Each structure stands twice: as structure tokens, then as C-alpha cells.
A and B are shown apart, each in its own frame.
Chain A
């Protein structure tokens, strides 16, 4: 594994190279993609991107948690969490690319 980290800047650079938008416009497009996905999820929608994966929002019930250091009981309030389920294509590509 190469241990590199991709950021928004790398995604913008790829758009710049691929589509020919300026770096500024490309960065704005990255924000639009992430912004629309986030907004849909906040509205409670599932976001399904074919050949990439599915983001869905799940409701978690309240439960009693425990501070592992002190053993003290703390209430955990009901909350919404996001889960990502990768597509088969992504799983296959990630598995094939990381063979030991």
C-alpha cells in the first residue's frame, strides 16, 4: 500500500485534466457533488450511485453507554448515522488492487 491521501484538491485536479475546467471551477464542482449528496442525506434520502455505492441514513435508538475508563454510565441519545455500502464493482476493484 502506498499510504497516500487524496483530498478535494486532487479531485479538482482530475476534473481540470479530464474536462478542462479551470482549477477554481473544478474545485467548485467537487463542492457541488459533495454538497448535493450531503443535502439529500440530511433530508433523509438514500443516495445510490451506480457502480460506486449507496449512502443511507439509519436511525439509532437511545441506549445506555459506559465510559470505558471510569465505568460510569452515560445515556446515549437517539441519533441518525450514515452508512456506506460499496457496490460490487468497487469491492472487486479494491480487492484486486490490494492483493498481498
Chain B
């Protein structure tokens, strides 16, 4: 290949990758081109905050595929790794329970970094079901997500007071949180979320996504159900004795788009001594472009409840949990 072709190659790829990468350098010889490519890869490795997490997630996905190999569904290649890019969405939903009920044993995750880039803007309804004794027994929030790493979560407090919510998310660059007192905190990393969760939860642990994925593989029996409508449903049942851990989860995705349709975590017995969460579910209810700046905190400091209103009848309600087939 000629030098000109190398330049074209690099330039095209740079465009595909969204411009943060290599430009077409002038007079590149192959050795220099290779050196610059390696420098670029090293910069991503060393500087990008989510890279270590992404690598761990990929590794966990590969190991899951290897372990799943002997138990593949007949005649169909089960691609467990598809779960992994979606894990953020699942774990975010699971994190809902953290806001009120964190115990040292409850190893859910509040750190959320990204969802798949191709899934586009969408809104999930979050439903936290508590024991009948809790008032209110059901709490509803929203999870808005857009492409890579941008999301906003709005949750009512355990009292169910709609005017007293916690809102947190990640915009183009920063993590941020609007506390129930209406105070905005923001920062370049997840420290701010960590700080706030810890403030609520005392010394509760906040494991990373990869830790949780590893935990899932170790402690849950995961099986896959192929749906006739082009979906895949993943069932996981806790097989280890871990106090406070979710006893089951169910995830339904579109096979081709990888879009999460629904996810549900169940605790049996309920987790937490005060709010007693029975399940946390997320259901895709809308796909829509969000207003400019939606994933920045300023949009939520003044947003009215009307702007955030949910459809009366969600088109994709949470499916009932069924026993997992091994």
C-alpha cells in the first residue's frame, strides 16, 4: 500500500471514530504511522477514564462466552457478550435500591458509565416495588439515556414526595447530582456520586461495574430464552448464599439492535429494613430526541413535572419473572 493509501486509511478511520483520533498526517512512512497509532492507543489507555472499565467489561464478556460454550441453546449461537454493553442500564436500575437500602451485603452498583452507542435516545420508566407495608408501596422514576455515557435519572425519595426528588446523571463531560435539597454538585469523575451515595449510606461499598459483572458470573445461573419476536431474554437466578443480593434478574433485549426492552431485579426476601424493596424494574417507554442540554444539570434545576411526564400506558411493561431454565 502506498503512503497515500495509508493516509486515506487513517483519515477514514479517524472520521469513523469521531475525530478524537488521528488525522491524516503528511508524509507518513509506515513506521511512523505505526508509531503514531500506538501513541494514540496508549493515550486512550492511559488518559480515558472509562477505558479500564471497558477493558474489564470486555474480558468479563469473553470469559462468560467461554463458560457458556458448552450450554449453548441448541442450534443457536448465544452471544452473552451482548449483555455486557447493556450492563450499565441494568446496573443503573439496580442502583435505585441503593438510595435507601444500602447494607454492607447489598452489592448493587451505582456507577454507571455508558450504554451502547447505537441505541440512541430513549426513556425508561423505573418502578421500585416495596413491601405492602411501605407507603407508598410503589415508586416511579425515569432513566433517560442518550448514546454513549449520557444519562439522567430522576427518583422520588422513599416518602414518595414528587417534589422532593434526587436527580443525577452524566452529561457531555461531567457527573452531576441535584440533591433533594436542590443543591447541585458536579465533578469530572464519579467521585461526586460516590460521595453522595456514601453520605446516604454510611460506609456502604460501591463496587465497580466489572466487579458486579464478575459477581454475576460467579453467583448467578444465567440462561437465555430466545423470543419469537426477535428478542432475547436473559434469566439469572442467584445460586450462592449472599445476604442482601438480588435473588433474580431478568433482562429482555432486541437481538439485533441490542436495545434493552426491560429489566427487572428481584429481592426475596425484600432488601432493607426500612423501605424493604421487593423489585426494581426498568421498562423502555419512549424513544425520542431530548431537548438540547437535557443531560446537563441546568435543564433539571428548573424542569417542571409536566416536562417530565410519563405516558399513562407504557407500551412495554415489565414481564413477569419466570423460573430460569438451566
Say if A and B assemble together. no
State the A residues within 8 Å of B (CB). none
State the B residues within 8 Å of A (CB): none
